[in-house]
Structure 1
Amino acid sequence: MLIKRKYFRWNRLLLCLPVVILIFHMLSVSEFHQSSRSKEKPKKIDHLVLGPAAGEGLPDRLQCQGIRALNKTSSRMFQKNSDSVDHVSFVTVFTVYNSTVDSRPVDLVTVGNTSYNKVERSMAILNIFVNFIQVTMPQSNVIILTDPTAEIPLHRDMVTIQPIQGEYSRDKLMLQRIRSYIAFLETRLEKLTVMQEKVSHFIFTDSDIAVVHDLGRIFTDYPSFDLALTFRNNKEQPLNSGFIAVRGTAEGLQRGKAFLQEVLKIYSTKFMKASRMLGDQLALAWVVTSHPKFDIKRFSKREAFLDKIGGASVLFLPCSSYNWTPPEGAGQFHGMPLDVKVVHFKGSRKRLMLESWNYFLSSSDISDMLCLILKSGRTKYDF
């Protein structure tokens, strides 16, 4: 009788075992799904999120109360009697892709009272790029280098669209950008020497920047450089290719072109695996830092300096003033320097560029607008 009872208990245990295993499996699957969801990238935010302004209490940094500046940056509007008497043109590379033309309604993003598809977003950024230049440097031209097959619906005063033959695919755009710069400098050099055109200096930039100060002062304050680059204290990528200035004299154009040809050569031979992104910056750094007499420790100081690289006199300008990026750029975690001249909305900060322009239209105060940028720049938006 005792043996039968024990047998019956074991039988019940064996019958329950599959149920226990099934419950354990379901709990494991549920835990796995919860873990997977926690590892998913968070959804990008579709509105401005204001946080604390970095640099509070630090000297020579923008101080904000809400989105009002307590001290003013040195940013100012261009005046006809400015010390910057030389003509300066801005040059950028821009194109439109078929995949963005065929964007769906689900791709719409709303900023303020306006909704944008992918093409409209790109065009909005390009227009605001021009807007900021025309506010701070209204006598400057903007030249857009593009694929001859591209149709860019931009009709603005002081803006020229210049087709340059090349390969503008996404994977080769950074490589093509350098080729386009070189081709442009060749045409300008020919016009200067053959057609005796007036000297004009050139600043090559990405189209997602806001010029908030008269940059013509670079050419008068530093009269001996041929080419200017922006640097940051970053061992892997000390130079940013989003801002390159070239003096418009025959010597400056020639030496600037030769320098970029060397960068293109290094890019094509050493960094083609990074052709979609960063290859140009890696090539820039290689050309500069491989020079035997170059002191890379100078990148750790926030001071402009001149050096001879190959046959060109190169001016190195700190990103914290001439290529400031929220939140990645040098100086962000210590606030915004009062002498900031260029804000670079790279990566996912494109919405912030549009929001900043909209706020500037309502406030007409660049310093207040910079407070908005400083307090919003750490958020990744949906542009």
Structure 2
Amino acid sequence: MANSRSPSPFFVVLFGFFLFLIYSMSDVHRNWTPQGSKRSSPKKLDHLILGDTPGQGLPNRLQCDGLKAMNKIDLSNENLNSSERVSFVTVFTVYNSDFTGTNEKLHDVVTVGNIAYSKVDRSMAILGTFIKFIQVSMPRSSVIILTDPASKFSINHQNAILLPIPGDYSRESLMVQRIRSYIAFLGKRLEENESLEGSIHFIFTDSDIAVVDDVGHIFQKYPNFHLALTFRNNKYQPINSGFIAVRGTLDGITKAKIFLQEVLDAYNTRYTKAYRMLGDQLSLVSVVKSHLPSAFQKFSRQKAFAGEVNGVIVQFLPCAVYNWTPPEGAGQFHGMPLDVQVVHFKGSRKRLMLESWNYFNSTSSRSNMLCLILRSGRTKYDF
């Protein structure tokens, strides 16, 4: 009777290797696309989609029953007005070649509510909505729009003005130009009035934000800072440039201008390849890290703190309150803090910003509007 022998370990390993190789090749074949072709990206939606409500059951988070807020109370008009006067400053431009609409393609037109928007119309609508949110939450505040002198557009809001600032506002350089425009604006303030004593403070923001509460209180609550930045627990981009507050004193404006000039210098020497996107945030991180590396150990705590950056007192404020972003696939998975002050509609959230304003305008409830934002935040829209 012949002896039966089990396979040797070598042949077992070899057989396993061949199985792995066959599976890997079939996987490559499934995912292969012909050279020059593009994978189809997920289609963005042209209407709001309500999903699960992040943060339900968690403490200190907005609780919603459908679109009804269960634990958020709208403030009265009396409580909305802080004693501090604040001007919001944003950089905005339109490109005149697009503004004519002669090359507008049919697929570039989107509809929100009963209004159809071209590409430029969308930008103007976002700017207008930005101003209207400020009018509701901080009616004593004004809006200053820094823009390209060659840009041709107008605004019809009593509390908003255009201020042309020369520079390169091309799409490729818009982010670095934003820092230059901020510096030029602060320089103008110093030239106009050298006896500034906090008559008016400034908050530099992106135009795709909604101020949903009075943020003027930060100048009283934190009385010693020159400049304030918002931070988040993000390893690569811990400081967001969409909200920068400057105290309106001579010392505050002077120190803020010095700080931003150092940021611009870092931008021009280290991040020239990021003029169009992210370079401003990378430059902010670089400047803070070079003078105050201990700040980065505190970002995970989500508590406001202050530190000195090359002679400038910087107040660090949590994004969760002053620069909160709806959870589009990543980010704020744990809901909306009850004390949120500013909502930032970054990326494809622009439609959500317009839809939120329309919903607030029809209901007069900021609390319920926040539920709409929270439940819609994970969806990619057509803006």
The two structures share one fold, judged by TM-score above 0.5: yes
Equivalent pairs counted in the alignment come to 352
Q: Secondary structure at the match of 1:294?
A: helix
Whole-Å separation in 2 of the counterparts to 1:267 and 1:336: 33
Whole-Å separation in 2 of the counterparts to 1:250 and 1:371: 41
Instruction: Letter of the 1:79 partner, please give it.
Output: E
Moved more, 331-340 or 267-276: 331-340
Whole-Å separation in 2 of the counterparts to 1:329 and 1:264: 31
Q: TM-score, normalised by structure 2?
A: 0.87
Structure 1 position 125 matched with structure 2 position 123 = no
Q: Secondary structure at the match of 2:382?
A: coil
1:214: Cα distance to partner? 0.3
Instruction: Letter of the 2:78 partner, please give it.
Output: Q
Whole-Å separation in 1 of the counterparts to 2:31 and 2:274: 38
Q: Secondary structure at the match of 2:201?
A: strand
Larger C-alpha radius of gyration, 1 or 2? 1
The C-alpha deviation readout for 1:105-150, integer Å capped at 9, x for no partner, is 4321000011000111000000000000000000001000000011
Instruction: Letter of the 1:76 partner, please give it.
Output: L
Whole-Å separation in 1 of the counterparts to 2:48 and 2:120: 22
Q: Secondary structure at the match of 1:210?
A: strand
Whole-Å separation in 2 of the counterparts to 1:205 and 1:236: 21
Alignment correspondent of 2:323: 323
Whole-Å separation in 2 of the counterparts to 1:31 and 1:210: 41
Whole-Å separation in 2 of the counterparts to 1:322 and 1:300: 16
Contact 1:87 1:139 in 2 (8 A): yes
Alignment correspondent of 2:182: 181
The C-alpha deviation readout for 1:239-290, integer Å capped at 9, x for no partner, is 0000000000000000000000000000000001111100000000000012
Contact 1:323 1:329 in 2 (8 A): no
Q: Percent identity?
A: 61
Alignment correspondent of 1:86: 84
Contact 2:129 2:357 in 1 (8 A): yes
Structure 1 position 364 matched with structure 2 position 364 = yes
Contact 1:108 1:115 in 2 (8 A): yes
Where structure 1 has 5 or more consecutive residues not aligned to the other structure, the ranges are: 1-28
Contact 1:77 1:135 in 2 (8 A): no
Matches within 5 A, 1:11-26: none
Matches within 5 A, 1:1-383: 39-72=39-72, 76=75, 78-79=77-78, 82=81, 84-101=82-99, 102=101, 103-193=104-194, 199-291=199-291, 294-327=294-327, 332-383=332-383
Instruction: Letter of the 1:182 partner, please give it.
Output: I
Whole-Å separation in 2 of the counterparts to 1:30 and 1:292: 49
- Structure 1 segments of 4+ aligned residues over 6 angstroms from their partners: 29-34
1:295: Cα distance to partner? 3.5
Whole-Å separation in 2 of the counterparts to 1:31 and 1:328: 26
Instruction: Letter of the 1:85 partner, please give it.
Output: S
Instruction: Letter of the 2:237 partner, please give it.
Output: Q
Where structure 2 has 5 or more consecutive residues not aligned to the other structure, the ranges are: 1-28
Contact 2:304 2:317 in 1 (8 A): yes
Contact 1:320 1:330 in 2 (8 A): no
Moved more, 316-325 or 292-301: 292-301
| Cα 1:190–1:42 shift into 2, 3 Å | same
Q: Secondary structure at the match of 2:163?
A: strand
The C-alpha deviation readout for 1:342-367, integer Å capped at 9, x for no partner, is 00001010000000000001111111
Whole-Å separation in 2 of the counterparts to 1:329 and 1:88: 34
1:296: Cα distance to partner? 1.3
| Superposition RMSD in Å | 2.4
Contact 2:328 2:379 in 1 (8 A): no
Q: TM-score, normalised by structure 1?
A: 0.87
Contact 1:69 1:371 in 2 (8 A): yes
Whole-Å separation in 2 of the counterparts to 1:114 and 1:178: 34
